[in-house]
Amino acid sequence: MRGARRRLVETLREKGIRDLAVLRAFDLTRRHEFVPTGVRHRAYEDAPLPIGSGQTISQPSIHARYLELLQLKGTERVLEIGTGSGYQTVLLSHLVAQIFTIERIPALYTMAREAIARAGAKNVSMLLGDGTVGWREYAPYDAILVSAGGPSVPQPLVEQLAEGGRMLVPVGPMEEQTLKLVTRHGATVETRDVAPVRFVPLYGSHGWEQQ
């Protein structure tokens, strides 16, 4: 599916993605290996797709925007909240030094672990648990990506940002959120609104309460 992958990269360019490292990560990562067989023929469309357990894999242009906004240099330790299919995790594996990723749904955790292993990503550590509390053992992180929308910015994640660290997190009601870029400067935390987005709900002790 290399041709389809190349077409996706061209689509991302047309949508304004300029970071060559991000575009290369998309060229190297086989999205069809992270979606169920029933939707595999749509793997390289710029569209979200269902991955089971009521979750989705985001459209590639959203992933690309996320990754470009973080201005990654390749040396970062990154925390990802919501492993999902593992696709974004593998994209990150081409862009940073180390990734720590948390998934709360056991079935997705197992599928993602297998897909990440198949992709050959060696710089990924996985945890099954509540992503809203972060992973203190390996903090601080240069970047944190939250792949679900919560009612507010989880305070434990702010505390686990390194000096100058950046976090992308969707905040707002369940139906629609605002993507926020949170940057830590010493005791000061700067928050900037980026764009309106729609993500699956962020459940956990510092997110939405599971019904």
Each residue of 80-129: pLDDT tens digit? 999 999 999 999 999 999 999 999 999 999 999 999 999 999 999 999 99
Q: Indicate the fold that domain 2-197 takes in CATH.
A: Rossmann fold (3.40.50)
Q: What is the pTM of this model?
A: 0.95
Nearest 5°: the CA angle 13, 101, 105 is: 105
Q: Which of 58, 61, 93, 147 is catalytic?
A: 58
Residue range 5-24: mean pLDDT, rounded: 97
53 is catalytic: no
Domain residue spans of the chain: 2-197
Give one DSSP letter per residue of 136-198, joined into a string.
GGG--EEEEEE-SBBSS--HHHHHTEEEEEEEEEEES-SS-EEEEEEEEETTEEEEEEEEEE-
pLDDT for residue 196: 94
